[in-house]
């Protein structure tokens, strides 16, 4: 079964990788969705790399769509620019969601075989969960 | 602007060479401006970007002004590493697309293309005039292109200076609230430098 892929774009390589592990861990042993981290610049510094984002998206793309979650600033703008230029795989979408909670929701939902709309909606709903 | 002047690919090559030169000269100042209100990387980011643009234009020389601007934009998006990458990348790429495949373009066509590019930057970043961003230099600069390249550079420079008393409403500087007041915006400053480089390429240097 092809599932929606999830790409996590952060200014920090460590943050992107850790959130990927966290989301896969919380999604449980049955989590089958592909997740890839695209953190920091190609040179290993804080920032955003379009190359790393494109590579991560191609890595997780199985033809069912790719949900991209981002932290802030250049991560948001770079993904938007890549989408406008149609450089990302067909069916790629920037998700408006909190990074950590959205990543967990996206991976859990994608692992059920849900389609891209459902994955994006689940990640976005994480905004509605109030903590106090 | 001379209505009969046409601008060939060589003109745009001069613009990007002048842009790379001025970024090299001013990188330290741009990073310094980015220190109190940003993450102190604007100069080094643009230096990496425009150095890569120089290499790209040398290794695969574009045949038309439109292709040159599009290659410039793609290179900036992939090499800058900060928010200015996708923003300037979008400016040049959209302007380049607007110029199509013409071998030469008029000053009016270039003005209209840059206006499309600046509008795309505004849409991508979601900023408005007065938000203390590169738009505060780009919008008055491109508006003054109808007069001359020199007028555009001067208007952009005035626009950059006018960001000093503004409170930032976009990007990392906006987290500082009122503490962002009193600093010149690094993005508006680099925008003025890029329009200054355009005036240099047109032989209208200061």
User: Per the confidence metrics, is the pTM higher than 0.90?
Assistant: yes
The per-residue pLDDT for B206 is 76
Q: How far apart are the first and last CA of chain B?
A: 16
Q: Taking 90 as the threshold, does the pLDDT of residue B51 lie above it?
A: yes
pLDDT at A4 over 90: yes
**Tens-digit pLDDT profile for residues A50-67:** 999 999 999 999 999 999
Domains and CATH numbers, chain A: 5-128 (3.40.50.510)
pLDDT at B3 over 80: no
Q: Hey, is B7 helix, strand or coil?
A: strand
Mean pLDDT score, B141-164: 97
- How far from the centroid of its chain's Cα atoms is residue B104's Cα? 21
Q: How far is CA B172 from CA A62, A71, A98, B75, B201, in A?
A: 35, 12, 17, 24, 33
Number of CB atoms found within 10 A of residue A51's CB: 12
**What whole-number distance in Å separates Cα of residue A126 and Cα of residue A72?**
17
Binning pLDDT at 50, 70 and 90, where does residue B4 land? low
What chain B holds in terms of domains, given with CATH numbers, is 6-201 (1.25.40.340)
**Are B132 and B168 spatial neighbours (Cβ–Cβ below 8 Å)?**
yes
Work out the percent of chain B whose per-residue pLDDT is above 90: 90
What confidence tier does A16 reach under pLDDT thresholds 50, 70, 90? very high
Q: What mean pLDDT is predicted for residues B32-52? A: 93
Mutation target among B79, B86, B123, B173 for the A interface, most CBs of A within 10 A? B86
B124 touches chain A (CB under 8 A): yes
pLDDT digits (tens, 9 = 90+) for B104-113: 999 999 999 9
Mean pLDDT of B186-196: 97
Residue ranges of alpha helices (H) inside chain A are: 13-27, 50-60, 74-84, 99-111, 116-125
In angstroms, the CA B79 to CA B77 distance is 6
User: Residue B88: closest CA among chain A residues belongs to which residue?
Assistant: A81
Q: What is the rounded end-to-end Cα distance, in angstroms, of chain A?
A: 39
* A108 compared with A30, residue with greater pLDDT: A108
**In which band, very low, low, confident or very high, does the pLDDT at B76 lie, cut at 50, 70 and 90?**
very high
Question: Residue A50 is nearest to which of B45, B77, B87, comparing CB atoms?
Answer: B77
């Amino acid at each position: 079964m092809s599932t929606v892929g999830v790409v996590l774009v952060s200014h920090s390589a460590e943050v992107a990788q850790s959130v990927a592990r966290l989301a896969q861990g919380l999604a449980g042993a049955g989590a089958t969705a592909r997740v890839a981290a695209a953190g920091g610049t190609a040179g290993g510094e804080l920032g955003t790399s379009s190359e790393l984002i494109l590579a991560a998206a191609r890595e997780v793309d199985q033809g069912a769509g790719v949900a991209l979650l981002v932290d802030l600033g250049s991560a948001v703008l770079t993904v938007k620019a890549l989408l406008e230029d149609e450089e990302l795989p067909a069916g790629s979408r920037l998700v408006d969601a909190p990074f950590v909670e959205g990543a967990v929701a996206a991976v859990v939902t994608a692992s059920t075989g849900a389609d891209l709309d459902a994955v994006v909606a689940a990640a976005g709903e994480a905004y509605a969960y109030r903590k106090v | 602007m001379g209505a009969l002047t046409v601008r060939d690919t060589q003109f745009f090559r001069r613009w990007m060479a002048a842009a790379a030169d001025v970024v090299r000269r001013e990188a330290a100042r741009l990073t310094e401006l980015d220190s109190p209100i940003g993450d102190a990387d604007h100069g080094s980011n643009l230096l990496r970007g425009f150095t890569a643009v120089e290499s790209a234009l040398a290794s695969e020389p574009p045949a038309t002004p439109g292709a040159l601007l599009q290659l410039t934009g793609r290179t900036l998006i992939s090499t800058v590493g900060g928010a200015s990458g996708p923003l300037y990348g979008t400016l040049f790429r959209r302007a380049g697309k607007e110029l199509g495949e013409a071998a030469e373009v008029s000053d009016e066509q270039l003005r209209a293309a840059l206006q499309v590019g600046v509008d795309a930057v505004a849409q991508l970043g979601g900023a408005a005039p007065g938000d203390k961003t590169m738009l505060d230099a780009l919008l008055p600069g491109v508006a003054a292109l109808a007069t001359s390249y020199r007028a555009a550079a001067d208007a952009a420079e005035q626009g950059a200076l006018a960001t000093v008393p503004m409170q930032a409403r976009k990007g990392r500087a906006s987290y500082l609230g009122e503490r962002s007041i009193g600093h010149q915006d690094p993005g508006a400053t680099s925008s003025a430098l890029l329009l200054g480089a355009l005036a240099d390429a047109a032989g209208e240097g200061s």
